Amino acid sequence: STILVLHGPNLNMLGTREPDVYGYETLNDIDDRLKQAAAAQGHHLMHLQSNAEYELIERVHEARAEGVDYLIINPAAFTHTSIALRDAVLASGIPFIEVHLSNVHAREPFRHHSYFSDIAEGVICGLGSQGYDLALQAALQRIQR
């Protein structure tokens, strides 16, 4: 099966961006680890980071056409703003887990609302990059059911 990991705006800055909040690992480190973990279990993992809302939306449209089985999404700041990306994910009908590196509930009030959480199968936040690993583990189990 195929899993697509989507990373929203500014996550290309991981490693140097507010490391006390987001950690010292780079996005490449995380993506490589996820790819290996998926491959080790016989699955294919793709990933995209974009700072542009429309690119993420179009990637979700393609994912539907490609028959992607599961999405892992960190919409970053689009979490709190993007009805358009929410609608794209809904339209795709692909199940997904929402991931945030930081504990958004312990931060500014504007980060407490998500346009994704009510339509996600699950939400993981506050565990740093481990959240992606846990999301992948859950996604693979759910695909196999």
The reply on whether position 120 binds ligand DQA by CB under 6 A is: no
What CA–CA distance (Å, rounded) separates 41 from 94? 21
Task: Give 23's contacts (C-beta < 8 A, 6+ positions apart).
Answer: 14, 15, 101, 128, 129
The reply on whether position 38 binds ligand DQA by CB under 6 A is: no
Least gap, CB of 19 to ligand DQA (angstroms): 13
Least gap, CB of 144 to ligand DQA (angstroms): 27
Q: How many residues bind ligand DQA (CB under 6 A)?
A: 10
**Residue 112 annotated in active site:** no
The reply on whether position 49 binds ligand DQA by CB under 6 A is: no
The reply on whether position 111 binds ligand DQA by CB under 6 A is: yes
CB atoms closer than 10 angstroms to residue 130: 14
**Residue 100 annotated in active site:** yes
Residues tagged active-site: 22, 100
